[in-house]
A and B are shown apart, each in its own frame.
Chain A
Amino acid sequence: DQQVKQNSPSLSVQEGRISILNCDYTNSMFDYFLWYKKYPAEGPTFLISISSIKDKNEDGRFTVFLNKSAKHLSLHIVPSQPGDSAVYFCAASEGGSEKLVFGKGTKLTVNP
């Protein structure tokens, strides 16, 4: 039973364009959401997070949007750069728990 779903295994975009990575969740108790980026042979690296009291959080080229009614969040990268090519994981947690529940990841390729 996958509580966090990333339905697109891969995404390819041109350098300079927008990358949109999507994530859906089923557990309505989740109240904190994070995005991690992972390069091959490295551990995941924290990118950006959002709490359930917000619907948008921005950090430089990265913006995360949260739609609680749809149980959906998305990560926007603008403009995309070749160095952004990596696997992106969406993760979520319930209040009071340190356990992060991860999706399966989306492999982003940014073409020069």
Chain B
Amino acid sequence: DTGVSQDPRHKITKRGQNVTFRCDPISEHNRLYWYRQTLGQGPEFLTYFQNEAQLEKSRLLSDRFSAERPKGSFSTLEIQRTEQGDSAMYLCASSRFMGGQPWNTEAFFGQGTRLTVV
């Protein structure tokens, strides 16, 4: 297993187009997270899944954004009607939650998908 994989690595799209990103987590990890990072900022939480259930969503995730993890394995993040403000690095991370843990386990990040909206 080579870690968290994201595809594509780079995406340039015209304003108003829809884009979809894919994330393949580490195989035994049951939790999957999406973050967004803009220039000069730290990553900002968007949403996370435990298996196929989407358990938490940020207010940053407007109705143009949708994330799925249909079989509890890979995940997709779709942005509809892209805007220039959506230009950012979209990071996926995964972790293994074994229950009974009092605190979060560390998440392992992929290399990200850099989106440029022109």
Contact = CB atoms under 8 A, between A and B. Distances in A.
Interface-central residue, B4, B43, B56, B109, by most chain A CB under 10 Å:
B43
Contacts of B93: 43
**Which range holds the interface residue count of chain B?**
20 to 34
B45 A101 contact: yes
Interface stretch (B11-19, B67-75, B78-86, B98-106): B98-106
Nearest to B9: A41
Nearest to A9: B40
B56 A97 contact: yes
Interface residues of A, number: 26
A95 interface: yes
Interface string A87-99: 0010101010111
Interface stretch (A66-74, A75-83, A102-110): A102-110
B91 A100 contact: no
A64 interface: no
A16 interface: no
Contact of A95 (B35, B41, B102): B102
A31 B103 contact: yes
Contacts of A93: 103-104
B112 A98 contact: no
Contact of A46 (B33, B42, B108): B108
A32 B44 contact: no
A105 B93 CA distance: 18
Contacts of B102: 51, 95
Given A31-B103, A32-B104, A43 B42 contact: no
B112 A99 contact: no
A34 B42 CA distance: 13
Interface of A: 4, 31-32, 34, 36, 41-46, 49, 51, 89, 91, 93, 95, 97-105
